[in-house]
C-alpha cells in the first residue's frame, strides 16, 4: 500500500467487496464553480453515482495524503476555500504532500490517484487538451499524457470548447488513446453536442463500453480511454451564443496576459458571465449526465463475462 494513499471507509469497503466505484475530481469544486453551487453540485454528483448503483470516490489531497473518497465536511471545506486550494496536476503532487497543504485534483491527478486506489472508471465535466495557439505557446494539458499512460476510463462531455478540438483529437490518436462516442458519431464540445469532429468508435450501451474496457486491460494494453458523452439535448445551450462568448473570453484573456493554470478558470468564469449563467447551468447538467453513465459502465464492468 502506498503510504501516502488514504482510502475512505466506504470506498475501501466497496473495493474489498468488488462493488462498482466511480472516481470524481475535486478541481470542479474549488476552481470550477462558485460557492455554494460547487458544494451542492459535488454532493448531487455523488448521489447520482449512488442512485445508479456505484460508490462515489471524490479525490483530493488533504493533510499530506492522497485521498480517495471524501466526507461531506471535506467537500464543504474545499468548496468554501475555493481558489485558496491549490490546483494540482501530476507535477505538483510531491510538493502538496510535502507541505501538507490541500490540493484539488485535475483530470490528470485524479486519474493517477484513482489508479493507485484500484478504481478504473472516472466521471468529470470535460478533459483538458491542446489550447488554441499551442503551436506558439506549447500549452497542452497534462490530461492528455495521463490518458496515454494511466489505465482509467474517463467519462466526459468531450473537451472544453475553449480548446483546439482538432489538435486535441490528433494528440490522443498519436498517443494511442481511443475516443468512444456514447450514442454519438461526433465528438461533443463540452457545452454543445456537436463539434464537427468524429470519434474513433461509437458504442450505444454501458455493457458494450464495459466489455471493451475489460478486454483492453486484460490484454495488457495499458492506458486510458475517453468516453465522450454529449450533454442532454434539453440542456444544450445555443451553440452560436457559446461560440460568441468563447471568442470574447479568449480575446480578453490574451489582452490580460493570462496563462498557465489560470487559463481554464478564467475562460469558464468569463463565459458564464457572458451567457448570464447559462453555461454554468449546462456545466452542472453535463457533469450529472456523465456521473450517471460512469456509474452504469462501472456496474456493467462488474457483470462482464471477461472480468
Residue 249: closest CA among 241, 229, 304, 41 = 241
Residue 191: closest CA among 88, 77, 274 = 274
475530481: which residue's cell? 25
Angle (CA) 195 201 202, round 5° = 75
According to DSSP, residue 237 is labeled P
Q: Decide if 39 contacts 76 (C-beta within 8 A).
A: yes
The residues carrying an active-site annotation are: 25, 160
According to DSSP, residue 230 is labeled P
Distance CA 36, CA 96 (A): 25
Distance CA 137, CA 155 (A): 28
Distance CA 293, CA 184 (A): 14
**Which grid cell is 259?**
496563462
Q: Decide if 106 contacts 127 (C-beta within 8 A).
A: no
Distance CA 219, CA 3 (A): 29
**Which grid cell is 136?**
506558439
Angle (CA) 195 201 206, round 5° = 100
Distance CA 195, CA 166 (A): 9
At 185 the three-state DSSP class reads coil
Rounded to 10 degrees, what is the CA torsion of 282, 284, 285, 290? 120
Amino acid at each position: 500500500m502506498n503510504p501516502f494513499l488514504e482510502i475512505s471507509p466506504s470506498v475501501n469497503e466497496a473495493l474489498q467487496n468488488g462493488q462498482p466505484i466511480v472516481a470524481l475530481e475535486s478541481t470542479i469544486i474549488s476552481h470550477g464553480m462558485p460557492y455554494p453551487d460547487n458544494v451542492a453540485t459535488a454532493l448531487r454528483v455523488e448521489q447520482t453515482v449512488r442512485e445508479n448503483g456505484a460508490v462515489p470516490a471524490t479525490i483530493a489531497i488533504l493533510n499530506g495524503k492522497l485521498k480517495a473518497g471524501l466526507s461531506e465536511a471535506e467537500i464543504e471545506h474545499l468548496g468554501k476555500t475555493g481558489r485558496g486550494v491549490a490546483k494540482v496536476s501530476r507535477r505538483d503532487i510531491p510538493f502538496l504532500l510535502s507541505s501538507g497543504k490541500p490540493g484539488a485534483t485535475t483530470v490528470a491527478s485524479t486519474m493517477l490517484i484513482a489508479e493507485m486506489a484500484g478504481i478504473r472508471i472516472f466521471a468529470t465535466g470535460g478533459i483538458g487538451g491542446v489550447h488554441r495557439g499551442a503551436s506558439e505557446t506549447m500549452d497542452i494539458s497534462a490530461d492528455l499524457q495521463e490518458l496515454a499512460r494511466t489505465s482509467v476510463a474517463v467519462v466526459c462531455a468531450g473537451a472544453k470548447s475553449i480548446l483546439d478540438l482538432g489538435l486535441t483529437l490528433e494528440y490522443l490518436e498519436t498517443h494511442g488513446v481511443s475516443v468512444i462516442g456514447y450514442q454519438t458519431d461526433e465528438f461533443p464540445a463540452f457545452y454543445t453536442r456537436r463539434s464537427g469532429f468524429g470519434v474513433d468508435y461509437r458504442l450505444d450501451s454501458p455493457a458494450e463500453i464495459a466489455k471493451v474496457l475489460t478486454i483492453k486491460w486484460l490484454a495488457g494494453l495499458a492506458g486510458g480511454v475517453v468516453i465522450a458523452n454529449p450533454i442532454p439535448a434539453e440542456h444544450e445551450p445555443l451553440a452560436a451564443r457559446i461560440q460568441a462568448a468563447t471568442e470574447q473570453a479568449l480575446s480578453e484573456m490574451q489582452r490580460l496576459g493570462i496563462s498557465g493554470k489560470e487559463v481554464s478558470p478564467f475562460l469558464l468564469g468569463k463565459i458564464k458571465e457572458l451567457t448570464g449563467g447559462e453555461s454554468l447551468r449546462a456545466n452542472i447538467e453535463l457533469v450529472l449526465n456523465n456521473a450517471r453513465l460512469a456509474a452504469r459502465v462501472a456496474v456493467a464492468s462488474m457483470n462482464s463475462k471477461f472480468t
